[in-house]
Amino acid sequence: MDYVIGSGPAGVACATALLGRGRAVTMLDAGLTLEPGYEALRMAMAARAPEDWTPEQHAMRRLPAGGGVPDYKLSHGSDYPYRAAPGAPGLGIDVPGVAASYAQGGLGNVWGAAMLPYRAADFATWPVAVEEMAPAYRAVLGFVPLAGQADALEPEFPFYVRPRADMPVSRQAKALLRRFARASLPGVVAGRARLAVRAAGCNACGECLNGCPRDLIFSGRQELAALRAAGMTYIQGAVVRGLAEDEHGVQIHALTAMGGQVFSGDRVFVAAGVYGSTGLMLRSLGQARAEILDSQYFILPLLGLARTTGVAAERLHTLAQVFIEIEDAAVAAQNVHLQIYGYSDVLDATIAQKLGALRELRAQVLERALVVQGYLHSDVSGRLAARLEGDVLRVTAVPNLATPAVLKRLVRRLGRLAPVLGARPLGPLLQAMPPGRGYHSGGSFPMRECPGPGETDTLGRPYGRRRTHIVDAAVFPSIPAATITLTVMANAWRIGNES
């Protein structure tokens, strides 16, 4: 019997690979789910056209009063993806808005659905080459829906599996893409956002950032029925506290509804998310500390050179519209990943808050506003120091002195690109979030060709272990700037397929 711990993107990808090999698989999962009241709200809204939704339904799902970027992105009005499960080990993170997830499907219940592979250059420091990852990318995209379009991103970011649909983009985004298509910009490439969404069912209600009422955004939670149909046993309400192994197999110590239990099997695949996996492995290996890498996240408003009237009335999704990749010339082989967002209730509330007494100008500002959500390579980002204090994992942000200079170069470069962007960056309003805030983190047990203590081999096995495999981002040797989830899933599938 093979055990998989966790039902997030890494867990379902690994379980899919193991079942495909004919292995017997049991998934252990805390498995918190959306409360019945919020689920009833979601289903009621899914069954009606957006114009028929009541003000009360809108109010239940809205972001907290005051606008801005909230500490936590809610799911259909609920914060359940961030709650600790009963019996879960303690976790203390000094970064507001950062938490582990014990939800069924993990943080995939609240992600932005952005889906790019890593470039060949991003694997240069990994013990796994892009050629080894390609079959895994194809396998994952065989069951994860992908909306996208062939464009200038493709040479460096292949599709691996052709998308069967696309998501519409706003008039602002269309104009931006037309300008990029006409321009020749060395080191800069732009294209349509690629999104893990079942696009054919989208009615452009604009509720993406609050949770899709039709549940069209991919989540590992959605795959559990198919995995169970393929023979996987799913045990909900299991919180794993420790792992051991000997020459005969593995022993998994967990708390369940029946109390403390020990599960024994051939192998265990740890997919508990970077904080869950780091804490579990430190306790199980008798280690006290680890360093977590991060692809640091930032937000930069853009002000359009011209107005685009009626943006608030345009029926659209509110996920990323455009991806822009910019090489950082000062750091060889690295790039900055930008996601461009248009109108949303988050943007509207934020602008209203910033304008204060000048709120009557809100409509005019909205018709010029775009937002960049960006990520840096881990080499120029802050990190997170993790240490065990008894049963509690303490996580502390450690800034990188190189980060401000990288962001300053980026703002200057975007300023030079203003005619192509059709907008100017508002540099004074740039928000550089602390390490961990963008949830593109990992690397606490990095893969190495010849691992030592605190490292793993190319199958995610910690030094000294043969039957324990870490399969989530905790094994990434670096965190490139591009979106993380597709490569998390592909690497987890590869380990499950090769172990």
Q: What is the mean pLDDT of residues 175-180?
A: 94
Tokens found for residue 466: 């043969």
C-alpha torsion angle, residues 470, 471, 475, 478 (rounded to 10): -170
Q: Which residues pair with 370 in a beta bridge?
A: 302
Instruction: Number of helices (H) and strands (E) in the chain: give both, helices first.
Output: 12, 20
Using the CB atoms, write b or e for 189-216: b if 16+ within 10 Å.
bbbbbbbbbbbeebeebbbbbbbbbbbb
CA dist., res. 39 & res. 17, Å (int): 30
In the prediction, which pLDDT does 304 show?
85
In the prediction, which pLDDT does 496 show?
98
One-letter amino acid at 59 equals: A
Task: Pinpoint the alpha helices (H) of 77-196.
Answer: 130-140, 171-182
SS (H, E, C) 20-53: HCCCCEEEEECCECCCHHHHHHHHHHHCCCHHHC
One-letter amino acid at 115 equals: M
In the prediction, which pLDDT does 56 show?
78
Tokens found for residue 149: 């379009």
H or E element, residue 421: helix 418-421
Residue range 374-422, pLDDT digits in tens = 999 999 999 999 999 999 999 999 999 999 999 999 999 999 999 999 9
C-alpha torsion angle, residues 184, 187, 189, 193 (rounded to 10): -160
Sorted by sequence, the CB contacts under 8 Å of residue 246 that are 6+ apart come out as none
Residue range 121-164, pLDDT digits in tens = 999 999 999 999 999 999 999 999 999 999 999 999 999 999 98
Report CA 128 to chain centroid distance, whole Å: 21
Total length of the chain: 499
Tokens found for residue 489: 């899933």
Given a cut of 50, whether residue 93 has pLDDT beyond it is yes
In the prediction, which pLDDT does 209 show?
86
- Model confidence band, residue 357 (pLDDT cutoffs 50, 70, 90): very low
One-letter amino acid at 491 equals: N
- 140 closest CA partner among 15, 245, 288: 15
Given a cut of 60, whether residue 356 has pLDDT beyond it is no
Question: Percent of the chain beyond pLDDT 70?
Answer: 91
CA dist., res. 322 & res. 195, Å (int): 10
In the prediction, which pLDDT does 67 show?
45
Mean pLDDT of the chain: 91
Residue range 293-343, pLDDT digits in tens = 999 999 998 888 887 776 767 788 989 999 999 987 666 568 999 999 986
Sorted by sequence, the CB contacts under 8 Å of residue 11 that are 6+ apart come out as 4, 5, 27, 29, 106, 220, 269, 271, 471, 472, 492
In the prediction, which pLDDT does 65 show?
43
Lookup result for tokens 């495999």: 469
In the prediction, which pLDDT does 119 show?
96
Q: How far from 345 is each of 59, 303, 353, CA to CA, in Å?
A: 12, 17, 12
Rounded to two decimals, the pTM is 0.94
In the prediction, which pLDDT does 363 show?
58
Residue range 51-76, pLDDT digits in tens = 999 887 877 766 544 444 457 788 99
In the prediction, which pLDDT does 303 show?
87
Given a cut of 70, whether residue 352 has pLDDT beyond it is no
The pairs formed by 168-172 with CB atoms below 8 angstroms and a separation of 24 or more are: 168/204, 168/316, 168/317, 169/193, 169/316, 169/321, 169/322, 170/308, 170/311, 170/314, 170/316, 170/321, 170/342, 170/343, 171/308, 171/311, 171/314, 172/304, 172/308, 172/311, 172/321, 172/342, 172/370, 172/422
Task: Pinpoint the alpha helices (H) of 286-402.
Answer: 345-355, 362-366
Please say whether the beta carbons of 110 and 220 come within 8 A: no
Pairing of strands 233-236, 25-29: parallel
Tokens found for residue 189: 């490439």
Q: What is the mean pLDDT of residues 105-109?
A: 96
In the prediction, which pLDDT does 210 show?
87
In the prediction, which pLDDT does 59 show?
73
In the prediction, which pLDDT does 366 show?
67
Given a cut of 80, whether residue 115 has pLDDT beyond it is yes
- How would you class 410 by CB atoms within 10 Å of its CB: exposed for 0-12, middle for 13-18, buried for 19 or more? buried
Task: Pinpoint the alpha helices (H) of 29-117.
Answer: 36-46, 55-61
Q: What is the mean pLDDT of residues 192-200?
A: 96
